[in-house]
Amino acid sequence: QVQLVESGGGLVQAGGSLSLSCAASGIFSITVMGWYRQAPGKQRELVATISSAGSTNYADHVKGRFTISRDNAKNTVDLQMNSLKPEDTAVYYCRAQIGRDENWEYWGQGTQVTVCS
C-alpha cells in the first residue's frame, strides 16, 4: 500500500504553535520531502522542503517561524510551526519526490490548520 498521510493539524490561536507530521509507507527512494499549503481561493504554495541529505528550503513567509525535519529511515517529515498567524490558515499537504524527476511525486490528503486571531 502506497500512502502519504499527514497528521497534527488543528485550531490554534495566533502566536501559538503546532507540529505536523507526515508518514510515507510503501514508497522508496524518496529524495525530497516537503510541505505545501493551500488556502481557500488561493493556489497551492511552498512552505518548506528538505532533501535526503538534510538541505532545507523555506518560503520567505515562514522563515524563522517554521522548522522542517525528516527521518530518512522512517520516511517521515515533520513541520514545527511557531508564532502562527491567521495568514497561515490553510490545508497543509505533504509531498514526496522520487528520484530527480519532479513529476514523479506523491501527495498526501492534507490536514487543516486554522489560526484564530
**What was the pLDDT predicted at 72?**
86
**What was the pLDDT predicted at 57?**
98
**What was the pLDDT predicted at 107?**
97
Query: How do the pLDDT tens digits run along the chain, 117 residues long?
Result: 789 999 999 999 999 999 999 999 998 889 999 999 999 999 999 999 999 999 999 999 999 999 999 998 889 999 999 999 999 999 999 999 999 998 999 999 999 999 999
DSSP 43-73: --EEEEEEETT--EEE-GGGTTTEEEEEETT
Residues 36, 7: Cα–Cα separation, whole Å: 14
**What was the pLDDT predicted at 51?**
96
Closest by CA position to 50, among listed 27, 26, 23, 77 = 77
